[in-house]
Structure 1
Amino acid sequence: MHPPRTQAVPPSAAADSARAEPEPESALSDELRAVRPGLLMPYAAELPGARAAVLTRLWRGLVYDPLPWIRRREPGRDGLTLHLADGRRLHGPHADPYATTAYVTELHLDGTAYASAPGLITALAVPGAAAFAAELHHSTASLALARANQPPDDGAWPTTAWQWEQRIVDGHPYHPNCRSRPGFSVAEQLAYAPEHRPVVALDLASLRRDDCLVTGEWPDRLRDGDRVLIPVHPWQSAHVLGKADRPTAREKIAAHPLMSLRTLAPASAAHGVTAHIKTALSARLTSSVRDISVYSIATSETVSAFADALSARLDGLLYITRTLGAVTADSPDLAAVLRESPETYAAPESGERVIPVAALATTSLPRSLAWLADFARLALAACLRLLDLGVALEAHGQNLLVVLSPANAPVRLVYRDLADIRISPARLARHGIPVPPLTGRLITDDDTALRRKLFGSLVAGALGATAGSAPALRGALSTAVRDLPRTPDLDALLTEPLPTKALTLMRLSPEASGDRWTTLPNLLTSPC
């Protein structure tokens, strides 16, 4: 069966697409002129770098994702050529799948240069291209806006955990939709996105207790007689909830948005809430719509208690934040989760600090191979031990945090957000661990699925992005694995291609549900 034939674009049209400023980028300029004119010049100055950053991420996907309209990939002295099903050729530099700096400034399609990801995808005209191009426009424009609105770097490290969260300006290190926020106006991005450092006023929806599913301990201060108060993101209130479900309580909770945008840290103990608040946000950010499934709420207490007990077996290497309470109005669009703060597992009085792994790249720490190897050893030791016991974490740079000593040595890990882990009853049983009473998507005994979940998030994601390049990651891993106990999972990591999500394929296949996967060359057995 042959791959579907792509539709060619006339060279003149392709050249015009490559030269013209994409409309969403100029549309964002028009909005900026109305709401924050002082950012117009910085935004324009950041656009070329944002285009290169998104184009670099797209090139990674084109090189490594199993796209049906790419017949073969041919390396040469001056780079890599992709041979398309319709006979065209796309040429670019040799690809480093772990690079986090923009090294692709243009790609050449049959001799025409493209300096922007949406322009290239439009010219490729493959199935799903139009919708993906629109997302890439949003990603490029929003990334330029994020970079334009940063304060001068004074070299000082943040003093609070939420400030660390807001240092991740560029979003997902490998996703072309790293900053795609369709449905958000410029004013809403400035008001709600963590990289813009706002304080968000969360609404409170007041619903009858009998109309809600509540698990765990929901605080008394978020109750009103026989009614439950559900924190609601203001974007959700404005754009998603129907009139009957819109918040009616007058009180609000001031909070700092964290990396995921929809999870926030209360600015004070208003309403007796100090835990992090995960809200439903029915917008597509990167790949997924960020609502909260009824399944997640129904299983949250059981999963949290199970994970908390299991982490006690890890000898202090890794702690898992507890889900304190969760509620849903029987709808993924109206739900909230209260989660323990990762700071619970650090001792600030002794000089310890908790940093999301994604924020490590904003420091000088990963530049030291010795430090990077120590961090990789800690992360692999903890997560492989947990995998052997029967749990695969989705340990990417947002969910995984590291506790640093006063000397900035990595001493322990903290993991948050249990909504998408995987649990193996067979592995638990081998270790004599009681299997939690759970069914559904969290449960699997498939070794491939378990290893994809962990290796794709931790190694191809968190460790790769912290290292920032294939040579740095290879050096750290080759040192770190020497001291790890051999298990079948470690053997797979050492010898098999590394699984990673096929992020570009997923956005070009919107009709397919669930994750799609590809593999990267194993750094310990072959060069990239």
Structure 2
Amino acid sequence: MHRPPSAETEVAAELADVRPELVSRYSAELPGARAAVLTRLWRALAYEPLPWVDRRERGREGLTLRLADGRRLHGPHADPYATAAYVTAVRLDGTSYDDPARLLTGLSVPHGASLATELGHSVASLALSRAGQEGHSQEAPERDWEWEQRVVDGHPFHPNCRSRPGFSVPEQLAYGPEHRPVVTLARVPVRARECLVTGEWPQGMRDGDRLLIPVHPWQAEHVLKRPRDPYDEGIAAHPLMSLRTLAVPGGPHVKTALSARLTSSVRDISVYSVGLSATLSDFAEALAARMDGLLHVTRTLGAATADSPDLAAVVRESPQVYAGPGERVVPVAALVTTGLPRSPKWQAEFTRLALTVGLRLLELGVALEAHGQNLLVVVGPDGSPVRLVYRDLADIRVSPARLARHGIPVPELAGRIVTDDVPALRRKLLGSLVAGALAGTVGSGPALRGALEAVVRDLPGTVDLAALGDRALPTKALTLMRLSPGTPGDQWAELPNPLVGEVF
């Protein structure tokens, strides 16, 4: 039977046309990319509440999954907090699989075919990303986007860590931050009276009575179907790790609509989030002032939408404005490139800072989505973590009841961002901060246990801190979510708590 070409071979063929000198390096990176994605997938299979997994049996020789149809899937013990690729193959009823896409195809689970395609793209794009690296200077970057370019492997725990379906090889090379391009944003003119605008839309993005909405070139070509305007000079910018947010040299960060599925979701900008952006920004700035200088939140300067999630943009200040003399502002996802997290002492200091800020905000009534992309740390001249910077308020959660209990004025908010549900608030923070940013920084379950044990006893006692010591830690069930297209919103898994017992 004829097998259609895989994403790996398709990328190789495109690469041979546009960058033939990278083909051999790309091929050499494929085995490591497969292992990296397979390791992430194995974590999901080991811990997420997948309906077709009957039970999990842990023995001396590894982990065995008993599937609902009677088959057995066997692999190594799964460290839910490991970031290194340690799974090179698993066995499904005696057949060995080293390719995550083929494994998922072999499992034949509902909606698995589409996810298998995405996993194939993830492997191929990850190999391409690694092949394009020429090494980084040992000097600390001077520009904010250069930190973002160091994050080559994408999300540390998502199997779709580098999935970019719909992006050709030339487009990946032209727009992916790890390839270090300069991207020219188009400026689409829309009459101001036809737009929803919050905050102060920059004067430099206006033309008389029209707003000039920055548009990503991929969006302009594939979604808006707009040919390039030869009279539009555009905005030269550098992509950050989210791909759709870009840094303007000497200026702000611009978040653009990008209606493509990257990792979990389609990257547009909802009318809802534009409408709330100014209120959220003012509220977060006032709340950060209560953090004794330990937290800054980047201000949203302006947001606009032409009444469409496909044509919208948010302009916010760069986190670098919060760096003092000799200090660096480093995205948490890029910390591993600094070597700082190799020190247990540094791990403990960073964990203390992050938990102090996160839990204090949660007590007041705000749960941050504090993963390694949204959370940044200000590093002092001696390398110590000094304070935090948070960006992108679109997915935080706000509890009116907790705010009122502390005498904090409740902002005029509505919709999914507002909740008094305590488990939901805790999942939002602990799932992103502990099981996400902290775990991704230290890189393993034993290291996470050491960092947490070093600091939790000294933190101010709150009911949320007590919940941190419960039997399990929440994390988004990222693979289950991709296999459940009819179920909206987040779904959750429970991970072994390093503070309670053995991690795996």
| Partner AA of 2:295 in structure 1 | L
SS at match of 2:232: strand
Distance 1:316 1:249, change over 3 A: farther
Deviates further, 214-223 or 134-143 = 214-223
Q: Does 1:256 align with 2:233?
A: no
Q: Residue 331 of structure 1 aligns with which residue?
A: 308
For residue 281 of structure 2, the aligned residue among 293, 298, 304 is 304
Verify the 8 A CA contact 1:22 1:137 in the aligned structure 2. no
Counterpart Cα distance in 1 of 2:137 and 2:312: 39
SS at match of 1:102: coil
Q: CA deviation at 1:256?
A: 0.5
Q: Residue 174 of structure 1 aligns with which residue?
A: 157
SS at match of 1:313: coil
Q: Does 1:279 align with 2:244?
A: no
Counterpart Cα distance in 1 of 2:286 and 2:207: 33
Q: Does 1:351 align with 2:334?
A: no
Q: Residue 378 of structure 2 aligns with which residue?
A: 403
Counterpart Cα distance in 1 of 2:466 and 2:235: 48
Q: Does 1:212 align with 2:195?
A: yes
| Partner AA of 1:439 in structure 2 | A
For residue 320 of structure 1, the aligned residue among 277, 293, 297 is 297
- The TM-score with structure 2 as length reference comes to 0.98
Counterpart Cα distance in 2 of 1:496 and 1:96: 16
Counterpart Cα distance in 2 of 1:213 and 1:369: 48
Counterpart Cα distance in 2 of 1:483 and 1:248: 61
Map 1:317-466 onto structure 2 (within 5 A): 317-347=294-324, 350-466=325-441
| Partner AA of 1:209 in structure 2 | A
Paired residues, what number?
503
Q: Residue 41 of structure 2 aligns with which residue?
A: 58
Counterpart Cα distance in 2 of 1:314 and 1:156: 31
Map 1:467-478 onto structure 2 (within 5 A): 467-478=442-453
Counterpart Cα distance in 1 of 2:469 and 2:149: 34
Map 1:222-301 onto structure 2 (within 5 A): 222-243=205-226, 250-268=232-250, 274-301=251-278
Counterpart Cα distance in 2 of 1:195 and 1:465: 19
Q: Does 1:506 align with 2:487?
A: no
Q: Residue 132 of structure 2 aligns with which residue?
A: 149
Counterpart Cα distance in 2 of 1:232 and 1:154: 32
Structure 2 residue ranges without an equivalent (≥5): none
Q: Does 1:35 align with 2:18?
A: yes
- The TM-score with structure 1 as length reference comes to 0.93
Q: CA deviation at 1:242?
A: 4.4
Distance 1:267 1:292, change over 3 A: same
SS at match of 1:169: coil
Q: Residue 9 of structure 1 aligns with which residue?
A: none
Counterpart Cα distance in 2 of 1:499 and 1:432: 29
Q: CA deviation at 1:135?
A: 0.2
Counterpart Cα distance in 2 of 1:199 and 1:155: 22
| Partner AA of 1:101 in structure 2 | A
Counterpart Cα distance in 2 of 1:367 and 1:242: 47
| Partner AA of 1:393 in structure 2 | L
Q: Does 1:221 align with 2:196?
A: no
Task: Give CA deviations for 1:304-325 in whole Å, capped at 9, x if unaligned.
Answer: 1011001100001111111010
Counterpart Cα distance in 1 of 2:228 and 2:361: 41
Structure 1 residue ranges without an equivalent (≥5): 1-12, 269-273
For residue 90 of structure 2, the aligned residue among 88, 97, 107 is 107
Verify the 8 A CA contact 1:64 1:519 in the aligned structure 2. yes
Q: Residue 119 of structure 2 aligns with which residue?
A: 136
Identity of paired residues, percent? 68
